Copies of this chain bind each other. A is one copy, B any other.
């Protein structure tokens, strides 16, 4: 059994591959016995950094059909498709978003279809497929209404996964991930990136900008929960998904007030003082178009889980990133 992780060198991809290795493999189709893949191909624009004899780090272009055809072989049982141009970048560079998020996804689906082994494919979608006039709580019946190019492109990817699954070309599923906080490392092009920045940077003794009002609420997930839910989405049998191949993942609603309180609770008042409030209307418009509260009954019934609290998310970040936390309560 081989698995392929696109966008594998990114933060979530590296965590996901490390988690597969740490868990002793993947549990598939209701089995609680993990099975270690023979090969985990980590594909991205740049090479992944995990060194393990089972991990093959490959750098290349997701929008090149020939590259994808080489990445998927007859033993490829699972594809986790994380590669994407994120929200802020997709809005700023329309062509790049279309190329990676639509063309790349389609070429990947075609590479799977060409193998005729019906690989299992998980698309990482996003809460950004929702927007505009929404009910206060978005439940499983609410129709996607994306207000940005990223959300439109993710939704189109979902419908392709849906139809390729219905046609029997793949065993596909799409999960809509909440905004992942706290992301370690450098800020990326996501409009939601500030939600990580305002925790990570002050905890490292650096300033960070909050570009939205403190009353703004977001629907978030820790990296640990996101990875755990992605692996759960891979593990579930085909039949559990039925017709509807798209799923809103559980998360947590947090206001920027609460985020700053959690920062202070973990990092002290000097950490909180490093957050500068500088409104950015473009970011605020995009982020506020996304829903901030969901009712994820279907996902909970399928065994997906959410974080306990935002403070727990911040504490987990500190545990997992001790080297990046310089000034804790100093």
Contact = CB atoms under 8 A, between A and B. Distances in A.
Interface of A: 94, 132, 141-144, 146-147, 149, 152, 155-156, 159-160, 162-163, 166-167, 243
Given A143-B144, A159-B156, A149 B167 contact: yes
Nearest to A243: B132
Contacts of A159: 146, 152, 155-156
A166 B94 CA distance: 12
Contacts of A162: 152
Given A132-B243, A149-B167, 7 more contacts: A94-B167, A142-B143, A146-B163, A149-B163, A152-B159, A152-B162, A156-B159
19 contacts: A94-B167, A132-B243, A141-B143, A142-B143, A143-B143, A143-B144, A146-B159, A146-B163, A147-B166, A149-B163, A149-B167, A152-B159, A152-B160, A152-B162, A152-B163, A155-B159, A156-B156, A156-B159, A156-B160
| Residue among A142, A146, A156 having the largest count of chain B Cβ atoms under 10 Å | A156
A18 B155 CA distance: 38
A117 to B, nearest CB: 18
A75 to B, nearest CB: 25
Nearest to A132: B243
Nearest to A147: B166
Nearest to A103: B106
A144 B129 CA distance: 14
A142 B141 CA distance: 10
A156 B156 CA distance: 6
Nearest to A143: B143
Contacts of A142: 143
A167 B152 CA distance: 12
Contacts of A132: 243
A152 B243 CA distance: 14
| Ranked 6 nearest A-B pairs via Cβ | A143-B143, A152-B163, A156-B156, A152-B159, A149-B163, A156-B159
Nearest to A156: B156
A243 B163 CA distance: 26
A146 B244 CA distance: 11
A149 B162 CA distance: 10
A172 B149 CA distance: 15
